[in-house]
Structure 1
Amino acid sequence: MQQFKPLTSLRLFLALWVLCRHWFHAYGAEGTLFDIGFTSTWFDHGYLGVDGFFILSGFILAYNYDPAPGKTISWKRFIVARIARIYPVYLVCLFAFALAVIARDLLLHTHNLGTGGYTAPTFLREMLMLGAWRYAGESGWNDVDWSVSAEWFAYVFFPLFLLVAPRLSRARILLAGGMALAALAVVEATSPDHLSLSGGLARLVPEFLLGVLLCRLREAMPRHEGFRAGGMLSLCVCSLGISLGLDVLFVAGSAGLVFCLSYHKDALTRVLSLRSLVFLGEVSYCIYIVQRIPQYMFEFARGKVAAVATLPGIVQAALLLALTVGIAIVLHLAVEKPMRVYINRRIGGKMPLAKTLANT
């Protein structure tokens, strides 16, 4: 099974962009987590990293699991493979976060349990990955896991996404892609802050479908080998969307970037195929899902240790980044990889090993 190394590396930059949003965006009176002496609209738009993930996920899963015409997908094996991919680390982080919240409230006597989304029903929904199965809504305990819950929706209904995505006809594929972007434009136009609305399916459904359509478009263009400037042009569209405050334009550029990087001739592929970047791209899911735990640990230490609090903001951010990536690598090696192999072997049945271990 082919691994798209540039797309794997792209996941790393999307995850780090989300971190930039959480660390350097001013949230009302609270200000930024770190004062590095300047702000940037790129930091403020870091939430769009999630939108890039949704498109990328739709493309990769369609490429790896879309059955040939006339055949059907093995839904059971697909679901088992997806559970093996996302659930072990998801569950570890959720329980670790819950234990940290409970310990904080018991030790510091803050008594915040039952408020701010920290309720037993919310925890149960998150544990079942159902928290984001709605148009939009507030997150609960580990707030970043809403996107994983939304992805779980796409996995459960993956055959329907394949069913509605036209095949072979470029015109129909492009028309369907335009309709997906139009639906997303309606979401952006009716949301209070573009696409940075609270977690739910409003962003997932059109963007995941867009990723599936990109795969179908690639299938409909078997002789097309891409062109070297495609990735750079797509990045320019992304930048224009951010500059103009048009998130849908960024999404369109992201779709073009995913499509172009799936070919080997793009100018960016050599850089994004570096082994270190590919490895960190494989760790990117852990970086994303665990980010709140080291962040709150660091905030607690900063409030208790004056030597940490007096460090320049850029140094504090670098220390937290190192801590986050370090914890994520441990999770990847100790939980994500071995549990993926174990679950696929125990439950996945006769599924080919290449497919159970696919980095998707």
Structure 2
Amino acid sequence: MINTLTSLRFLFAMMIFGAHCYVIDSFFDAHFFKEGFVGVSFFFVLSGFIIAYNYQHKLQENKISKRTFWVARIARVYPLHWLTLFIAVILGNYVVASDCMDWLKHFLASFTLTNAYIPKADYFFSFNSPSWSLCCEQLFYFCFPFLIPLAKTYKRLLYLFIPIAIIVVTGMYFTPEDEIKGYWYVNPVTRFPDFIVGMLLFHLYNFLKNKHITSRQGSAMEIISVLFFLSFYLFASEIPKVYRYSCYYWLPVAMVLISFSLQKGVLSRILSNRLLVTGGEISYSFYLIHLFVLLLYAEWQKETNFKIAWYISIPVLFCIIILLSLLSYRYFEKPMNQKIKSLFNK
């Protein structure tokens, strides 16, 4: 496990949290917060890197089977997804359906993580809306074992990535504004290049990890990558949003990931703090739970017409989400993960 990358998961999950806080107060309507959706791009690129880091050599050397890999990923994704889906059903939120059959279609699409393939917001954002990204992860995990022959060298992956990237950028240019979210933000097929970027980074990591990099050099790499990312982030409003949904952030996210994966600098030592690592470990629970809490509070605030200043309510809500995430991770996510793997790997 690379502790620094685990901690980064928490920091980028917090950015997604900040992007959704606009439901509480208009203060969070500012670009600085709403651009936090870049956290999703980070997770997709990170997924490609971490999956390659953990499984590429094992699959290449036949130390594990495709079945074992897929079971591990199903055990990771589905239990908490289904739990939060049923919570959303109980709460009666997040879907607009004309009749019972229409509701059932939405439910089955969310249940099977196929809702993001349908370019309609009432599908891909139905029920627990952050779960759309799991549709993308599901496609990545399904395809990864079949990419192993291409993953032997970075050149083969580049031959796959470059034409796909050209098609993506060209397609983005010709897509009408009101359709970009359905086709370029949530669609698993068009987010696949993010995952390949992560796989390419793993090759770069293998090249760099045994190089002699001093603490000073490592610190410089980390600081430069953070500043580079922030420059892209803060000036993103000048770039059409369709590109910011993925390709615009490929390079800055890649620089952050590769510099911190080496764990050579002073910032890496800070990110290796156990509290931050724990935050990264619970980031999946945090991601799937946070919007429930924010929307429930927003609804209560609207019904009661009782407004608490955001600088009080947001920290309190954040602490509640952290607590719920810790409980979810400790008493549901981890036990269910182990049970499913032991059940299907017999």
The TM-score normalised by the length of structure 2 is 0.84
Aligned to 1:121: 105
- Measured after TM superposition, the shift of residue 21 of structure 1 is 1.2
Aligned to 2:253: 254
1:67 aligns with 2:57: yes
3-state DSSP class of the match of 1:223? coil
What is the correspondence of 1:92-241 to structure 2 with a 5 Å cutoff? 92-101=83-92, 113-114=97-98, 119-133=103-117, 136-138=119-121, 139=124, 140-165=126-151, 167=153, 181-186=165-170, 188-190=172-174, 192=177, 197-221=184-208, 223-225=210-212, 227-228=217-218, 229-241=220-232
3-state DSSP class of the match of 1:45? helix
- The 2-side partners of 1:146 and 1:337 are apart by 22
Aligned to 1:272: 271
Q: How many residues align?
A: 326
Aligned to 1:91: 82
Which of 20, 23, 32 aligns to 2:21? It is: 23
1:11 aligns with 2:2: no
Aligned to 1:294: 293
Q: Which amino acid aligns with 1:66?
A: Q
Which of 67, 78, 82 aligns to 2:69? It is: 78
- Measured after TM superposition, the shift of residue 92 of structure 1 is 0.3
3-state DSSP class of the match of 1:345? helix
- The 2-side partners of 1:86 and 1:14 are apart by 19
Equivalent pair of 1:9/1:273 in contact (CA under 8 Å): yes
- The 2-side partners of 1:179 and 1:294 are apart by 42
Q: Which amino acid aligns with 2:222?
A: G
- Measured after TM superposition, the shift of residue 53 of structure 1 is 0.1
Seen in structure 2, the aligned counterparts of structure 1 residues 70 and 304 have a Cα distance that, compared at 3 Å, is: closer
143-152 or 320-329, larger mean C-alpha shift:
320-329
Equivalent pair of 1:5/1:278 in contact (CA under 8 Å): yes
**Structure 1: runs of 5+ lacking an equivalent:** 25-31, 106-111, 350-360
- Fraction of identical pairs, as percent: 24
Seen in structure 2, the aligned counterparts of structure 1 residues 219 and 291 have a Cα distance that, compared at 3 Å, is: same
Measured against aligned partners, the alpha-carbon deviations of 1:317-339 in whole angstroms (never above 9, x if no partner) come to 12221222221111111110111
Q: Which amino acid aligns with 2:3?
A: K
174-183 or 93-102, larger mean C-alpha shift:
174-183
147-156 or 40-49, larger mean C-alpha shift:
40-49
- Measured after TM superposition, the shift of residue 39 of structure 1 is 5.2
Measured against aligned partners, the alpha-carbon deviations of 1:208-241 in whole angstroms (never above 9, x if no partner) come to 0110111122224453355422222222222222
3-state DSSP class of the match of 2:282? helix
- Measured after TM superposition, the shift of residue 149 of structure 1 is 1.3
- Measured after TM superposition, the shift of residue 345 of structure 1 is 1.9
Seen in structure 2, the aligned counterparts of structure 1 residues 149 and 173 have a Cα distance that, compared at 3 Å, is: closer
Equivalent pair of 2:132/2:186 in contact (CA under 8 Å): yes
- Measured after TM superposition, the shift of residue 314 of structure 1 is 1.8
Aligned to 2:307: 310
